[in-house]
Structure 1
């Protein structure tokens, strides 16, 4: 395999969807309360906390739990589709990991810089 592996369009699209879905999942989780179930918070002095004071968590709503479960199912489905793609059977075993890493790097979204984000 050369460093310029050519991947089938459908595999590239699957990996791009996987990257995008994973980013959406992480962003969604970041907006949720810190505990799935209702839990009392604490102050920094009560327990070691790298975040300082931790407020009470109301827990997740049933809708939030269902959304997380749906997103996880989609991530599993996309991951399986990428890993099980027939293209991998054409890659020599000794270069398979390198090819998979190249696919991830090639399809990873580019982070917008400060000037681009504005």
Structure 2
């Protein structure tokens, strides 16, 4: 199927808004996680294991982890809960009940994830397939 043959769907504005919010929340959570220490709890680090014959590092070491602050834990918990809630709301939206089960439904769910209006925040105006 060429790109021009890809079906389009008339997604309701509230569904595209939910999906856009889900994308944004996932991105916020991923950004937060990249800043967190490697362990939630304070943990000691360890030295790398070195091959005695070659001096090569066999296993890398790790710096000690100070653990997460209560604020970091709260924000991680909040974002995880929001991602779960938004995922549930997107996946159970009444729009999905208007489509025939099977390939059309799969195509629509896939199309929503990369819908062009998600980046702009505009409601979708594509015609139904």
Q: TM-score, normalised by structure 2?
A: 0.75
Unaligned runs of 5+ in 2: 1-5, 51-56, 121-129
| Match of residue 45 from structure 1 | 49
Equivalent in the alignment of 1:11? 15
User: Residues 48, 99 of structure 1: CA spacing in aligned structure 2 closer, same or farther, 3 A cutoff?
Assistant: farther
Query: Greater relative contact order: 1 or 2 (C-alpha under 8 angstroms, separation 6 or more)?
Result: 2
After superposition, the C-alpha distances for 1:54-94 in whole angstroms (9 at most, x for unaligned) are: 21000001111111111111111111110110000001101
Larger Rg: 1 or 2?
A: 2
1:4 Cα deviation (Å)? 1.0
RMSD: 2.1
Partner residue of 1:99?
Answer: 108
Flag as ranges the 4+ runs of structure 1 deviating above 3 A: 46-49, 107-110
- Relative to the length of structure 1, the TM-score reads 0.81
Unaligned stretches of 5+ in structure 1? 111-118
Query: How many aligned positions are there?
Result: 107
Structure that is richer in helix per residue: 1
**How many angstroms apart in 2 are the aligned matches of 1:86 and 1:59?**
42
